Amino acid sequence: MSTRSAFAALAFTLVAGTASGEGPNLGKPITEGEIAPWDISIMPDGTGLPAGSGTAAQGAKIFAERCSSCHGDNGKGTEFGAAIVGGPPRATLDGGKTIRNYWPYATTLFDYIRRAMPYPQPNSLRNDEVYALTAYILSLNELIGENDAMNAQTLPQVRTPNRDGFIIRFPDRGAYPSRGDGVLSGSSGRWVAYLQASAYLSQLGAPMATPSSTIAGSMTPGGCMLPCGDVP
């Protein structure tokens, strides 16, 4: 049998097995316990936010210790990491993206910090520390007050200026699907939380902590990953 014929036979076997409801007998079933450490996505509406709380004052100390080596004092950036404050009034596809002028949801800022920061020790911060860093960064961008505490109740109430600067691919589905709507469900499907994180990677110069980084620059079933040009 030729190599081409062997591959064709294997492909037919796999397809036939799938069509009949049987898998290819590769790997093993995964348990909810095994999924849990990866199933940490925070949705734009705040679904999935954990217990905990933090203030900008607390976050300033953590930022100085864990983040400033890359992102500079007060988030102004260095040669190793992008600025997270300042920038032009409007972000463009050519650069200048910061939290204030580009990031659409404050809630998924928490998601990104927890899952991907600090480089190279992602997912090493406690939830209280992530809330504190989120509060500090939002305060630097003048989106919340210095004394405002961020938690699962207050963070979803923070509205970022560029929230409406993204074009929805499928308006009839809403800006983003919910966890249980059958469009994006399970840890492998809930990528909407990366509306901004994937696109922001090039600015941060740091990899995502999960395979979800491979969707950078692509469309999700529920929303547009990138702004389509300069949005007024």
Domain range summary for the chain, segments of one domain joined by +: 1-30, 37-215
Residue 216, SS3? coil
Say how far residue 170 (Cα) sits from the centre of its chain.
20
Confidence (pLDDT) at 41: 93
Mean pLDDT of 41-46: 95
Given pLDDT bands bounded at 50, 70 and 90, which one contains residue 96? confident
Q: Which residue has the higher pLDDT, 159 or 193?
A: 159
pLDDT at 65: 96
From 14-18, 20-24, 98-102, the region with the lowest mean pLDDT: 14-18
pLDDT number for residue 201 = 45
Measure Cα distances from 156 to 28, 103, 207 in Å.
38, 14, 26
% of the chain beyond a pLDDT of 70? 65
The separation between the first and the last C-alpha atoms of the chain, rounded to the nearest angstrom, is 61
Q: In this predicted model, which residue has the larger pLDDT, 151 or 210?
A: 151
Query: Does the structure show a pLDDT above 90 at 147?
Result: yes
Residue with more model confidence, 192 or 214: 192
Mean of pLDDT values over 64-73: 96
**The pLDDT of residue 172:** 78
Structure letter (DSSP) for residue 85: S
Alpha-carbon distance of 204 to 106, in angstroms, equals: 17
Residue 105 is given by DSSP the state B
Of 13-27, 33-47, 63-77, 131-145, minimum mean pLDDT range: 13-27
**Separation between Cα atoms, residue 142 and residue 101, nearest integer Å:** 11
Write down the pLDDT at residue 129: 98
Give domain 37-215's CATH architecture: Orthogonal Bundle (1.10)
Residue 20 is classified by DSSP as T
Q: Which of 45-54, 112-121, 130-139, 198-207 has the lowest mean pLDDT?
A: 198-207
Q: How far is residue 90's CA from residue 230's CA, in Å, rounded to a whole number?
A: 8
Kindly state the helix (H) or strand (E) to which residue 17 belongs, with its residue range: helix 3-19
Higher pLDDT, 142 or 213: 142
Number of Cβ within 10 Å of residue 217's Cβ equals: 11
